[in-house]
Amino acid sequence: MTTPIEGFSKLSKEDKINYIAQTYTQHPNETVAVLKQYWSADEKLQNLHDEFIENTITNFYLPLGIAPNFLINNKLYAIPMAIEESSVVAAASKAAKFWQTRGGFKTTILGTEKVGQVHFMYQGDTEKLTTFFKHVKPRLIQSVAPIVKNMEKRGGGIKNIELRDKSSDLGDYFQLHCTFETLDAMGANFINSCLEGFAQCLKEEAQLYAPFTDKEKDIEIVMSILSNYIPNCVAKAEVSCPVSDLKAHHGITAEDFARKMVRAVNIAKVEPYRAVTHNKGIMNGIDAVVLATGNDFRAIEAGAHAYASKDGRYTSLTHASIENGTFKFWIEIPLALGTVGGLTTLHPLVKLALEILQNPTAKELMQIVAVAGLAQNFGAVRSLVTTGIQQGHMKMHLLNILNQLGATEEEKLSLIEYFKKHTASHSAVVVAFEELRNKK
């Protein structure tokens, strides 16, 4: 039986690899070879990657693709996308091409406010706590002046601190609800540092506040942490054109296509089972750009899905309508993104991705990412209401299947040509591959 290991983090990289290979894999020598195969030959670059996280043993590659021809606010972009799923880059590119000749994508920033909270327990008179908060609020802000100084010079900083009584939800529970402007930084470290400063000051000042009883002075800080729910840090992206400009799709008129698109989005608005998959498709595009630009896609995912539930039920993040003969398709989505700090200044491919995007500000990146999500959703819904999702997806997935089967380059070319005229399912590809092999 495998036993726990002590001091794994203190082992050398070689020793970590050998331990994992010998303890958990059937062919240790092959495991070591595979792991080392993904190391960079540039020792300095590899060391940089090793230090991004703890207990690094190798690099894990994802394809970095480009979706070109995105016309956003009359400016042309090629959008880098890091993702493993077939058809995402193709669908985004196809949508970009479609809308490029129809006015392109229009975007606006609806807000850039980020949120953090100090969660604490207080046993005592609520009115007394409210009076204390009014007294101490300026001191809370002053307590983090050294942290905020540089951010304020750039035009950011603390926007507000509110005392919120949550004791009806959980006994004795209160919070400082704090809002921030972090400009081009995602701002997690800045916000968390401010919150911890507020917490320390709150606790210290409570001990000195004469009107409090001894019990009331004993405020218990539970935790101080930013929130990934940022309903006031939102980008909007939209496209529109006359319905007649949509052109016929696969045997249906432009008018029918527009109605089908609106109906499909409305189904996602009212049916949570559909909405989750609908929004997952949006996040295919968004996560790919967020990852390519060195931002936190887990935070973006969490915030987006929370935003989809903000009115009490889970619903679509995109919207569609037909008004006076015009088809409109748009998204509003929270995006806490940064273009300075973190991996943006460390990871060579992240720096290159941002350069390809013409070194956007955080606001510009929010708009680009929102467009990527809207384009992805347009492409997915268009397929769903016309040919079905599998036709395009399976053809893009074809190379993955052929690689799994060990097809030669000649066989790949032959089967790619064959499936231009035939439906590509996994079983159909296997049958066609075996038939091709048997002919030899």
CA contacts within 13 A on the Cβ side of 421 = 3
432: closest CA among 421, 192, 113? 421
Cβ–Cβ < 8 Å for 204, 283? no
Q: Which residues are catalytic?
A: 85, 280, 296, 393
**What are 332's strand-pairing partners?**
236
Per the listing, tokens 């046993």 go with: 123
First to last CA, the chain: 49
CA distance 338 to 358: 14
What is the chain's length? 440
Q: How many helices (H) and strands (E) does the chain have?
A: 16, 10
**Could you give the strand order of the β-sheet that contains 106-109, starting from the edge strand earlier in sequence?**
106-109, 234-242, 326-334, 318-323
Sign of CA dihedral 104, 183, 303, 266: negative
DSSP element (H, E) containing 24: helix 13-24
260: closest CA among 373, 382, 375? 382
DSSP alpha helices (H): ranges in 78-186? 88-100, 126-143, 145-153
CA distance 149 to 142: 10
